A and B are shown apart, each in its own frame.
Chain A
Amino acid sequence: MAYVALSEAEKTYILHGVEDDFRCDGRSRRDYRPMDLETGLVSNASGSARLRLANTDILVGVKTEIDVPNPLTPEFGKLEFFVDCSANATPEFEGRGGSDLAQELILSLQNAYESPLAFDYRTLCLIPGQQCWKLYIDILILECGGNLHDAVSLAAKAALFNTKLPRVTATMLDAGITDLIISDNPYDCTRISIETVPLLVTVCKVGDYCLVDPSAEEEVCSTVSVVVSVSMRDGQAFLSGTHLTGGGAMHRDTMRNCLELGLAIGEHLDRLLTKMLNLEQERVGPKRPQTIGFLK
């Protein structure tokens, strides 16, 4: 994580702000910072999204490949996460410097996506036991401004929404061998349902209070935080995984409050994200603006 040096006085200032429910940037404890989201900017990937949450910058590309399903789960497709911490974010990430942070993010994403109720792996199956889609979700961290877990999960969900899988037809050959024909037409494609795809919400404990979307400075002041992964199903928010990060510990009651706060925020966040993604997709033809990417 990008190193932020804070003096005792600065820490106290942040702590008092959190106590008064008025944080340094004017937010309350339940507010998010503004974010920019754009999908479909990497033409070499099947799906992509870029999310900028204040100073946190994430670019996600989804690549597809045809693979053989795991024999234990013959009807399931595969997902693989890869996180690369670019040295652009901080010189500490040069070479292999970012691999610890990357591994932590990969694990929490894998955890959240593990349940078939959170991500329907059946939609990625082509022929049970023989062929399935394998999606590589490659996440590139370009700048760290706090709250990486949330930003990464939001960007990953948006990139999955943007992913286009070419339509595949199978022909039966002799001796039960099947041959796959993959459509060449870029418009002949299927989409992935993202309704239940989980989002991560970090609930950060600063002093005696819990807050969401911590900035890099607030993360330094925090002793412990809970990462809550929220998956929506039929309009209800479910927990699809959770873990504690940071060196501290918290009381059971606080933990329960954090989880409830995380669920409520996650539900709201999910609704907003889905709304914005649908809005962006509806704009087709001349109404769709040129991709802006990093030129803004």
Chain B
Amino acid sequence: MAGKYELLSEQGLRLDGRRPHELRRIKCKLGVFEQPDGSAYMEQGNTKVLAAVYGPHQAKSKHTESIINCQYSQATFSTAERKYRPRGDRKSLEFKMYLQQALSAAIKSELYPRSQIDIYVEVLQADGANYAVALNAATLALIDAGICLNEFIVACTASLSKSNIPLTDISHFEEVSGGPKLTVAALPTAEKIAFLEMSERFHIDHLETVIETAMAGCREIRDILEAAVKEHLLHMGSASDFAKVC
């Protein structure tokens, strides 16, 4: 498959018609479910993810520090080829670990001693950048649950075309067409990177520009998420009139 398709056409357009720095269309909503303490739905292009947060509640184990417990699962019909199990395979265990790692960097865990926060992510449709969208959805769900964060933690993917032009937000088709893939989870305002993963190979000279592209994507997503949170709060608060204050 590698090298079968050019990631960037001569006209400078990608396989799905985007320009190199463009994100896919993002739609999101907070508070989709009643039962969890916080929930969010996020769509990035054709990747669709639901996230739910339960907690903070009393931890079962007797740790004094807070426990951040994640689960990543993917619906059996989410991929083009049917998956045989929704979770428990290596990919989802890996993603679960990475989610835990990135979210631990964002949650102010010192405020929740002896407590546990459960974060469950369900991918309904997978079309590339699954981890990044799952993390973004988890951030929104945490905000909906009212859990203190240092700041928004957002993730974005980036790649590099053959002509060394960096590309933002990789779709599934671009992922399988070959070419490197880099995932960054960042705290954009502090410009800190909480998680970084790359596959295939880069020349070290290009790494900096690709990371910068992913960070720019993160900042852009952060703005979208922030707008969604504000919109949600205005909507929530309109009953008690606090929307007029801000």
Contact = CB atoms under 8 A, between A and B. Distances in A.
A61 interface: yes
A185 interface: no
A114 interface: no
Nearest to A46: B77
Nearest to B35: A143
Interface stretch (A29-37, A81-89, A166-174): A81-89
A294 interface: yes
- In which size bucket is the chain B interface? 35 or more
A238 interface: no
Q: Majority SS of interface residues in chain A? A: mixed
Nearest to B46: A43
B126 A88 contact: no
Contact of B125 (A43, A63, A82, A91): A43
Interface string B30-58: 00111110010101001010111010000
A249 B120 CA distance: 38
Contacts of B43: 293, 295
A203 to B, nearest CB: 25
A65 interface: yes
The interface centre, meaning the residue of A44, A61, A293 with most chain B CB atoms within 10 A of its CB, is A44
A28 interface: no
Contact of A142 (B29, B33, B77, B79): B33
Given A89-B35, A294-B41, A44 B27 contact: no
Contacts of B82: 63, 65, 136, 138
Contacts, number: 97
A44 B126 contact: yes
Contacts of B48: 293-294
Contacts of A90: 35
Interface string B67-90: 000010101111110100011100
- In which size bucket is the chain A interface? 20 to 34
B40 to A, nearest CB: 9
Given A44-B79, A45-B77, A88 B120 contact: yes
Given A44-B125, A138-B77, A294-B32, A84 B86 contact: yes
A55 B35 contact: yes
A224 interface: no
A138 B75 contact: yes
Given A61-B77, A63-B77, A94-B71, A87 B52 contact: yes
A268 to B, nearest CB: 27
B118 interface: yes
A87 B29 CA distance: 19
B118 A94 contact: yes
Interface in A83-104: 84, 86-91, 94-95
Interface of B: 27, 29, 32-36, 39, 41, 43, 46, 48, 50-52, 54, 71, 73, 75-80, 82, 86-88, 118, 120, 122, 124-127
Contact of B41 (A44, A143, A295): A295
Contacts of B73: 84, 86-87
* Closest 8 pairs between A and B when the two form their complex, measured CB to CB: A61-B77, A294-B41, A88-B52, A87-B120, A45-B77, A138-B76, A63-B82, A138-B77
Interface in A256-296: 293-295
Contacts of B71: 87, 94-95
A44 B34 contact: no
Contact of B122 (A63, A82, A88, A144): A88
Nearest to A96: B88
A39 interface: no
A142 B118 contact: no
Given A44-B80, A59-B124, A295-B27, A84 B75 contact: yes
Contacts of A63: 76-77, 82
Contacts of B39: 88
A144 B33 CA distance: 10
B29 A295 contact: yes
A142 B34 CA distance: 11
The interface centre, meaning the residue of A45, A59, A65 with most chain B CB atoms within 10 A of its CB, is A45
Given A44-B126, A87-B122, A295-B27, 5 more contacts: A61-B76, A86-B50, A86-B120, A88-B50, A294-B48
The interface centre, meaning the residue of A55, A95, A143 with most chain B CB atoms within 10 A of its CB, is A143
Interface in A57-75: 57, 59, 61-63, 65
12 contacts: A44-B80, A61-B76, A86-B73, A91-B54, A91-B120, A94-B120, A138-B82, A140-B86, A144-B35, A145-B35, A293-B41, A295-B41
